[in-house]
Each structure stands twice: as C-alpha cells, then as structure tokens.
C-alpha cells in the first residue's frame, strides 16, 4: 500500500529541523539546518544576537534555512508524497510583517529565494527571542492592568514574563514606534513559518497564543484590558489577527514549494504550535501524565483537564484536545545542581556517577525518607540552587534544614546526605506544584516519562519516582531530542484522519521501547512514602524564602 507522508518542522533557537513520517508515524527522513554553521554570514551565536538584556534573531536567516531544509529533504525523500505539514517552534518570539507581506506571500515565484522575495515584507528584520529579558517595564504594566500577577495568571495562564509576546510587542510600540506603526501583522514564530508554507497569513494557534500574556484562556478572547495597554484596541487586535482554535488544515501548501521542491500540491498546512506543546504530542499521554525533562534546567509538562492557574507555573491550551490543558513548570536548576553534589561526594571533578548512585541506591534500599527511617527521627530538607531559581523566584542560594518535630535548625549535613536530599527536594517541588493540576482520584500522576540528559541515569529516575508515586509507572525515554518536530508531524498526520487524539497517538506508539523505572525499596514501591514530606517541604520553603 502507498503511504502518505507528513512533515513536522521545528524552528528552534539554533536549528531548523524537519521530520517526515508515514501515516503510522514511522520516521522516513530527518534533516537539519544549523544556523551558526550553515549561515556564518549572519554571525549569530547559538542562533541569536545577544546584546545585554536584548536577545534577537534575524528573520531572513530563518527564510534561508527553510529553502536549505527543503533542498536537503528533497534529496532524501519523495516530497510528492507529502500530504500534510505542521510545525512546533520556539515559543514567545514575534515577527513583524509589513503591508507588503500578504501580497508577497501570495505571489512567491520559484525562480527566486524566499529571503530575496520576503525580506522587503518585514517591518523589522529581527525577532525578539524567548531569552530576551528587556521588558521589565511592560511586564509591570501587564500585571497592573488586571490587578497583579495572580490575576494575570488566572486570565492568561501565566504571570507576566519578560519573554512573553504581549510585553515584547508593547516594548516595540514604546521603543520603536515606527516599526509598530509599519506592522500589518505580528506573527509568533509558529504562525510566521506556517504563513510562509501556506503563502498567506496563517492565524496564531491557540496553544502557542497562551505564551503571549494576552489570551484570556477561559473566555477564548484577547483580553480587552490588556489590549488597552496598546492605546488602540482595534489596531492591536488587527495586528495580532484571529486566534485559531481548530486542528483542521488551514490551506494547501504554497505553489512555491510545489514548483521548487516537488511538494504534493494537495499537501495541507495544519496550524503550527510551540515547541513545548509540540513535545507533549510526541508521547502517548493521557490526562495526568507527566513528562519530566532532566536537562541543564528542569521542566515538567503535564496534561490536565483542570484549569488551576498559578503565578508559579504556566498553563497552555492543549494543542490538539479541546478542553484539555498543558501545565508547565520551568526550573532553572537541574543538572548543574546535581553535578555539584556528585563532585562533592567524589571529592574530585571526574564526573563519575558511581558513588552518587550507590549512596542514593543504599538510602532507598534502607527506606530512608528525608534522611530518616521513622517518624520519630529528625528530617532533612535542602534547597540546592547554584543558579538563581524561578520556582521559587530567588537568587542563587543553598539551605539545609533539619526538622525535629516542629523545631527547625539550619545545620550543615555530611555531603552524602545531599545525594538523596537533592533528588527529594527537586521531586517534592514538582509534586507539590503538580498536585493541584491532577484530577486522578489519588491526586498522583498516572505515568511519568523522564527525558533529557539525566534520564539516562536509572538511579536518579528511581529516586524521583519514589517521590512522585505515579499510579501507572515511570519510564525513561531514550532520545527525545527530536520530540517536538515528531510531535508536529504526528499533529499533521492526525489532522488527516481526525478522531480522538489520545487514541491516535497510543495506537501508533511502541511503548515497549521505553525503559521501565524500578524503585529499589521493594517493600515500599507501591506505597506513598512522601505524603507527609510534602507538608514539611512547603514549611521549609516558607522558612527559607519568606517573601515568595
């Protein structure tokens, strides 16, 4: 049988990636363009220009990258079989189209490059990047407009963040009024790329719109009081355009890609989303399932039907399942903090995890929880933030608390106690903040999937699992580096057949490739050893971070 192919694009900070899958989601091809290496003329460093608090990327470079990616893909796969394309792109970035854009997009000719044709169609040749943190003033205005961070989080799913697109657009209006005035449409990176593929403006997609601090999630509209900040509510609404809440195709692919690269003229363009929402589409997740990414930073993504916003995390509309949400916890501290503990117990910088793992393993086998075996013993809770932390919002610091009943002292412990201590502390923070989003009867996750660098370490995953107590098991997923491009390809393939997303992805995933995580203390592995520890953790945070 002839298979249809689907393309998922990932326009991230440093690369543009494309994955082609068939209708069973089997990978057919993967090609990448690396911005710094493939386009040295732009002189970007890790894909961006960083200048103090401002971090931006040249839009023309992305257009060159798109032509190069299609050239590379065309050499390895028959693009005539493509029936759909979607994308998952870096979140929050904005692209400023001018009034020439709509007609230029609609009249692209294959005899010229995208860059040559579209460069005159931008009001600004740069795109503010998610690493930009130059919008303090605008963030304050956003929160003040609705009555504070809690209220803004309640409305938009997040308190104000420097990188979020609403404050970024407002800064453009303040600092570069000529750019703002010349802007016909503000796109997110996702809707920008979709527009180039479609040869026409493609609306911003609802899940990615939740990264703007402008979208009123419950009432499904751009929030009027926030639009007021721009002085001209009508004007800014038109520049942003409608928000697309559908999963169906928005158009066929532009003739440019058909004539130049042989893409099937019936290839549909399906709304592109953000990279984090794209990531949750790469695994067979159901409500209450969690992805924990153990990289330089720590990220936890949860699928939930509970809209319980908080200034401490982000909530986004689910990119496919209407009425469902994605919760996201973003911590700055992760690997570096664990590596510091590892080096301390090793007494050197060898980077060897053997001793760290052995200590953690023994503590778990002995049934230790917060450094103790019984309720009568003292309990230890530590905070290990070698980098300034977002959750809670504090400068770089370290705390070691010893609780004896209700009395607490700030002691130093032997280095060995930090091993399980740091893993417990990282997991308790996730557990405490995830719980309100979970709808399971026991308020525990169903499944936990570990991804990212430290997911290769079964002991670390076991210690975290012991705290999170998922009812349906925990799994280490080997390679997730292409997850959001794959998720986008899956979204495109799903759009062609429709039906329930959870069923679609579950039927096409071989879960036997995931490594099951085993918690070593057999006697306790089905029990919840940490139910009381959560309360002590919250009290410890209050002790150390009083103002948060």
Binding site for ligand XUL (CB under 6 A): 12-13, 90-92, 130, 163, 211, 274-276
Identify which of residues 87 and 211 has a Cβ nearer to ligand XUL in the complex. 211
Assign residue 14 a region: left if phi > 0, alpha if psi is -120 to 50, beta otherwise? alpha
**Per-residue CA distances from 518 to 264, 393, 464, 479 (Å):** 47, 33, 11, 19
Nearer to ligand XUL, 90 or 264 (CB): 90
Closest contact distance (angstroms) between CB of 475 and ligand XUL is 22
Q: Is 189 exposed, middle or buried (0-12, 13-18, 19+ CB in 10 A)?
A: buried
How far is the C-alpha of 92 from the C-alpha of 128, rounded, in Å?
8
Instruction: Return the number of the residue (90 or 127) whose C-beta is nearest ligand XUL.
Output: 90
Strand partners, 290: 302, 448
Q: What residues are paired with 292 via a beta bridge?
A: 300, 450
| In the complex, minimum distance from the CB of residue 449 to ligand XUL, in angstroms, rounded to a whole number | 17
Closest CB to ligand XUL among residues 92, 260: 92
CB-based contacts of 339-342 (< 8 A; 24+ apart in sequence): 340/384, 340/386, 341/384, 341/415, 341/418, 341/419, 341/421, 341/422
Residue with tokens 């982000």: 314
Quick one: 13 or 183, whose CB is closer to ligand XUL? 13
Minimal distance, residue 413 CB to ligand XUL, in Å:
34
Tokens found for residue 455: 């997911």
In angstroms, rounded to a whole number, what is the distance separating the alpha carbons of residues 281 and 273? Answer: 11
Contact assessment for residue 435 and residue 443, using Cβ atoms and an 8 Å cutoff: yes
The residue among 98 and 276 lying less far from ligand XUL, judged by its C-beta, is 276
In the chain, what is the straight-line distance between the N-terminal and C-terminal CA atoms, in Å? 60
Distance CA 319, CA 301 (A): 13
Give the tokens for residue 481. Answer: 């580096």
Residue closer to ligand XUL (CB basis): 92 or 444: 92
Report in angstroms how near the CB of residue 297 gets to ligand XUL at its nearest.
9
Residue (274 or 458) nearer to ligand XUL, CB: 274
Which residue's CB is nearer to ligand XUL, number 211 or number 334? Answer: 211
In the complex, the smallest distance separating the C-beta of residue 417 from ligand XUL, rounded to whole angstroms, is 33
**Residue 450 CB, nearest distance to ligand XUL (Å)?**
18
CB of 258 to ligand XUL, least distance (A): 30
Beta bridge partners of 32: 17
Cβ 433 to ligand XUL, closest distance in Å? 16
Quick check: 57 and 126 in contact, CB under 8 A?
A: yes
Q: For residues 123 and 183, is the Cβ–Cβ distance under 8 A?
A: yes
Residue 160 C-alpha from the chain's centroid = 17
Hey, how many other C-beta atoms are within 10 angstroms of the C-beta on 159? 24
Task: Read off the DSSP letter of residue 42.
Answer: G
Q: Which residues pair with 202 in a beta bridge?
A: none
Reported in sequence order, the residue ranges of 23-178 that DSSP labels E, i.e. its strands, are 27-34, 49-51, 54-58, 82-89, 94-97, 126-128
Closer CB to ligand XUL, 57 or 492, in the complex: 57
Q: Compare residues 155 and 364 and give the one whose CB is closer to ligand XUL.
A: 155
Read off the tokens for 80: 């005539």
* Residue 532 to residue 119: CA distance in whole angstroms: 59
Closer Cβ to ligand XUL, 429 or 529, answer by number? 429
Q: 394 is written with which tokens?
A: 């504090």
Quickly count helices (H) and strands (E) in the chain.
Answer: 21, 26
**Could you tell me the smallest distance in angstroms from the CB atom of residue 312 to ligand XUL?**
14
* Identity of the residue, 67 or 275, whose beta carbon is nearer to ligand XUL in the bound complex: 275
Q: Least CB distance from residue 348 to ligand XUL, whole Å?
A: 34
* CB closer to ligand XUL out of 211 and 382: 211
Alpha-carbon radius of gyration of the chain:
24
* Least distance in angstroms from the C-beta of 521 to ligand XUL: 35
Min separation Cβ 27 and ligand XUL, Å: 22
- Distance separating alpha carbons of residues 543 and 537, to the nearest angstrom: 10
Residue 92 CB, nearest distance to ligand XUL (Å)? Answer: 5
3-state secondary structure 105-123: HHCCCCCCCHHHHHHHHEC
- We find the least distance from the C-beta atom of residue 163 to ligand XUL, in angstroms, to be 5
Q: What are residue 394's DSSP bridge partners?
A: 389
């Amino acid at each position: 049988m002839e298979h249809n192919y689907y393309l998922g694009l990932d326009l991230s900070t440093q690369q543009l990636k494309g994955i082609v899958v068939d209708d069973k989601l089997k990978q057919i091809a993967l090609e990448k363009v690396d911005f710094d290496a493939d386009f040295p003329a732009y002189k970007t460093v890790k894909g961006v220009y960083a200048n103090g608090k401002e971090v931006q990327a040249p839009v023309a470079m992305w257009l060159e990258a798109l032509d190069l990616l299609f050239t590379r893909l065309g050499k390895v796969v028959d693009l005539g079989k493509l029936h759909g394309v979607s994308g998952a792109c870096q979140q929050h970035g904005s692209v400023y189209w001018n009034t020439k854009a709509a007609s230029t997009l609609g009249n692209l000719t294959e005899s010229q490059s995208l860059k040559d044709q579209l460069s005159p169609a931008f009001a600004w040749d740069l795109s503010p990047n998610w690493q930009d943190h130059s919008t303090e003033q605008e963030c304050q205005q956003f929160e003040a407009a609705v009555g504070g961070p809690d209220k803004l989080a309640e409305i938009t799913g997040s308190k104000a963040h420097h990188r979020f697109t609403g404050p970024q657009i407002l800064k453009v209006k303040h600092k570069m009024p000529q750019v703002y005035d010349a802007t016909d449409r503000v796109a997110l990176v996702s809707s920008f790329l979709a527009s180039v593929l479609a040869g026409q403006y493609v609306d911003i997609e609802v899940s990615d719109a939740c990264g703007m601090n402008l979208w009123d999630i419950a009432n499904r509209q751009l929030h009027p009081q926030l639009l007021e900040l721009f002085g001209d509510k009508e004007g800014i609404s038109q520049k942003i355009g409608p928000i697309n809440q559908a999963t169906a195709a928005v158009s066929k692919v532009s003739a440019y890609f058909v004539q130049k690269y042989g893409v099937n003229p019936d290839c549909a363009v399906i709304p592109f989303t953000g990279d984090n929402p794209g990531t949750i589409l790469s695994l067979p997740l159901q409500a209450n399932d969690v992805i924990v990414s153990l990289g330089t930073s720590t990220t936890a993504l949860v699928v939930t039907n509970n809209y319980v916003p908080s200034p401490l995390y982000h909530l986004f509309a689910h990119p496919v399942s209407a009425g469902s949400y994605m919760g996201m916890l973003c911590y700055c501290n992760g690997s570096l903090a664990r590596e510091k503990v590892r080096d301390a117990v090793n007494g050197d910088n060898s980077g060897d995890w053997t001793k760290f793992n052995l200590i953690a393993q023994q503590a778990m086998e002995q049934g230790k929880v917060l450094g103790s075996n019984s309720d009568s013993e003292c309990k230890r809770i530590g905070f290990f933030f070698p980098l300034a932390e977002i959750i809670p919002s504090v400068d770089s610091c370290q705390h070691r608390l010893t609780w004896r009943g209700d009395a607490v002292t700030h002691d130093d412990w032997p280095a060995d106690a930090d091993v399980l201590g740091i893993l417990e502390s990282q997991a308790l923070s996730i557990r405490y903040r995830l719980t309100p989003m979970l709808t399971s009867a026991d308020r525990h996750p169903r499944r936990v999937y570990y991804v990212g660098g430290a997911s290769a370490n079964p002991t670390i995953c076991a210690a975290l699992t012991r705290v999170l107590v998922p009812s349906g098991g925990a799994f280490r997923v080997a390679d997730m580096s292409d997850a959001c491009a794959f998720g986008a390809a899956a979204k495109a393939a799903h759009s062609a057949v429709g039906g329930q997303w959870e069923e679609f992805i579950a039927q096409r995933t071989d879960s036997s490739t995931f490594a099951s995580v085993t918690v070593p203390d057999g006697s306790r592995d089905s029990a919840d050893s940490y139910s009381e520890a959560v309360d002590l953790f919250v009290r410890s945070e209050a002790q150390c971070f009083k103002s948060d």
